[in-house]
Amino acid sequence: MLATPFSRKNRPTYARNETTYTAKDPANPARARHPASKAPFPPPRHRPHRNHSRPRQQNLHIRRPSNSIHLPHPPSQSNIGSIIQLSPTAASRAHILDTERLQHGPKGPLHGSPILLKDNIPTLDDATDTCAGSLALVGARPSREASVLGSLKRAGAVLLGKTNMAEWSGFRSSGGCPGWSARGGAGRGLLWWEGG
């Protein structure tokens, strides 16, 4: 019988110490130093580097991906119901960022990265509505922009549009349907979490 990592022969044994349990692995004595509260596994072989996407970004022509990612599946034809509205300014913003990259280099770590925002994150300068999934707020403009959106824009992200959500973030009667909004309809395959 061949010894596999999961066979009884190679399974680590545990010995009681004064303070902690330690693993005694005959195949790897270095593992014996790990306390039992931590998993006696070796560290990961590959750690993501903060510049792991830099080569891909350098070869990326921003305007084409930001226009083509969701345009083949516009919200009216989507059977998932995840996108409520596409930003009409995404193409021009991507073109500006593309020109900046060619002339001055990347603006930030998210330069040209397309993003979608939840429908309750307020946007000012974009032509997208902030409605929290409700038809009552279509056309209303917030008084200020969300700070997270400002940070994303400073990092160079391109806003593609708004995503569907439970109407009013789920603040309604207990008989309501999770994942449904008057503006976007019912989303399919969406996760529902009742925070608490």
pLDDT band at 153 (very low <50, low <70, confident <90, very high): confident
Q: What is the pLDDT of residues 98-135, one digit of tens each?
A: 888 888 888 888 888 888 888 888 888 767 888 877 87
Q: What is the pLDDT of residues 49-58, one digit of tens each?
A: 555 555 445 5
Higher pLDDT, 195 or 106: 106
On whether residue 151 sits in a domain, the answer given is: yes
- Supply the pLDDT for residue 77: 45
On whether residue 103 sits in a domain, the answer given is: yes
- Supply the pLDDT for residue 102: 84
On whether residue 144 sits in a domain, the answer given is: yes
Distance CA 43, CA 154 (A): 35
pLDDT higher than 60, residue 23:
no
Q: Region 1-28: what's the mean pLDDT? A: 50
Per DSSP, what are the bridge partners of residue 148? none
- Supply the pLDDT for residue 176: 62
Cβ–Cβ < 8 Å for 125, 83: no
Highest mean pLDDT among 10-24, 88-102, 181-195: 88-102
- Average predicted confidence (pLDDT) for the chain: 67
- Supply the pLDDT for residue 75: 47
On whether residue 19 sits in a domain, the answer given is: no
On whether residue 38 sits in a domain, the answer given is: no
Q: How many domains in the chain? A: 1
- The b-or-e profile of 113-135 (16+ CB within 10 A means b, else e) is bbbbbebbbbbeebebbbbbbbe
Domain that holds residue 172: 63-68+82-184
Q: What is the pTM of this model?
A: 0.55
- Supply the pLDDT for residue 24: 52
Q: What is the pLDDT of residues 134-148, one digit of tens each?
A: 877 888 888 888 999
On whether residue 4 sits in a domain, the answer given is: no
On whether residue 92 sits in a domain, the answer given is: yes
On whether residue 11 sits in a domain, the answer given is: no
Phi-psi region of 47 (alpha: psi -120 to 50; beta: other; left: phi over 0): beta
Distance CA 108, CA 86 (A): 23
